[in-house]
Amino acid sequence: MAAGWSELPKDLLWSIATCLVTYTDQVRFTCVCTSWRSVLPTIEVRSHAWLLLPRNNDTNKEYEKFYSLHERKVHYLEVPDEVLSKKFRGSSHSWLVSIEDSPKISLFNPITRVQIALPPRYKFPDVRKYCAKKFDTEYALEPYDGQKNTYFEAASHVHNSFLDKLVLSSSPTSSKAPNCMVAAIYGSHCNLAYCKVGDKRWTCIAKGMMGYDDAIFHDQKLYAVTFTSYVEVFDLSASPKLVDTIEPPQEEGYPQRRYLVKTSIGLLQVQRHTKNTGDRKTYLYRTTFFNLYMYEPSSRSWCKVENIGENVLFLGLNTSISIASSDLHGYKGNHIYFTHNFLDFHEFGVKGGYDIGVYDLDSRSVQSLPCHDIEKRWLWPTPIWYIHNPEDFIEQDKDATTKLN
């Protein structure tokens, strides 16, 4: 028998690892040491989806709260002190997008606790100047179309609302895809910009009056859906170049939000419809139904889809993603799990974060998730889906240590 836990024989570690069923156990296993973590890729590791909950007014402020639908319980994940003051604005490829009350933007892996800095907010194309003062710090921004003069926004507004969504082309520590790109939907008009990990500034992709709801990396290109349901395709291999524009589907009604999702049946444009359930003074919207359209490359058209089989969709501030129900614990195929992702409501005095639930495509009905207290009516910051895929499970960080309760 080996003298230490880190020196146990690989065949014995493999036997232990094959008995692990829940994601919680797998995380604990990988956190023992590097040699234990190296065994996990040799066994079948399923994808897992947790819901990152806000830690406001929580007694365990040194932990992040992750809700497991499969176990119906909250897990507390210890994070470094320097992360505790940050807010999370999304997730992609097993990484969280973190922001703070400063220009800084970074990626954080809650399992390995690795942080990666991205170019700050004042390096976005629309920012002409960042005026850092002790009091009344502000940004000088490019004028909107039709306007002539630079306009100014308070730093608090920019830090809360300037970044709408951020998606990755791959895990930034993946050896299989070393050139990670980061695309951002940002600004008052939801423009597009990108950077490579390690860049000092953001590069403009597209901006104007169209605005973008969602973006994903697909077939080595960036696909982005506009407010008018057009899908624009960009090649980012050299200078950003628009290479295709896909006409919108024949829509039913007026969707509030659009998403792009890669699935086993093809590329989907998912349209989210809502209604106001508040009174004259309060706007409280709820999701009522989704319409799904699959792209047909041969005809360059969209076909409405009523059933997505064992595909499970996760929509919100996370990179829109589909995972087979056979690869997940506690989730049903032909269902859409969604969270609130309208960020500006809270800042302007309209409560949000409460529109969290699951949509059954068979019955076309919406149910609230069990972790959400409807009586509270709102949560802020909004919960975020944290999806950990098998290919992203093992990160290249030998010194990573994580504590999971």
Q: Residue holding tokens 């996760």? A: 314
Could you tell me which of 7, 15, 11 has the C-alpha nearest to residue 32? 7
Q: For the whole model, what pTM was predicted? A: 0.86
| Cα dihedral: 344, 80, 394, 310 (round 10) | -30
Q: Is the pLDDT of residue 186 over 80?
A: yes
pLDDT given at position 86: 86
**18 confidence band (pLDDT: 50, 70, 90):** confident
**63 confidence band (pLDDT: 50, 70, 90):** confident
pLDDT given at position 399: 39
pLDDT given at position 10: 78
CA distance 354 to 340: 6
pLDDT given at position 142: 84
Please name the amino acid found at residue 32: V
Q: Could you tell me which residue, 169 or 391, shows the higher pLDDT?
A: 169
User: Rg of the chain's alpha carbons, rounded to an integer?
Assistant: 21
CA distance 371 to 368: 8
pLDDT given at position 277: 72
| Predicted confidence (pLDDT) per residue in 272-320, tens digit | 999 877 665 566 778 999 999 999 999 999 999 999 999 999 999 999 9
| Predicted confidence (pLDDT) per residue in 309-361, tens digit | 999 999 999 999 999 998 887 889 999 999 987 654 444 444 555 788 999 99
Token readout for 349 is: 């005095």
Please state, rounded to an integer, the average pLDDT across all residues of the chain.
82
| Predicted confidence (pLDDT) per residue in 240-278, tens digit | 999 999 999 988 888 999 999 999 999 999 999 998 776
Token readout for 116 is: 């990666």
**Chain centroid, CA 228 distance in Å:** 22
**374 confidence band (pLDDT: 50, 70, 90):** very low
CA distance 341 to 256: 11
Beta strands in 111-200 (DSSP E): 115-118, 127-131, 138-141, 151-154, 163-168, 181-186, 191-196
Rounded (to 5) percent helix, strand, coil in the chain: 15, 40, 45
- For residue 49, report the phi and psi dihedrals to the nearest 5 degrees: -125, 120
Mean pLDDT of 371-390: 68
pLDDT given at position 281: 58
Q: Is the pLDDT of residue 104 over 50?
A: yes
Q: Residue holding tokens 């792009």? A: 260
Least confident span in 93-97, 105-109, 346-350: 346-350
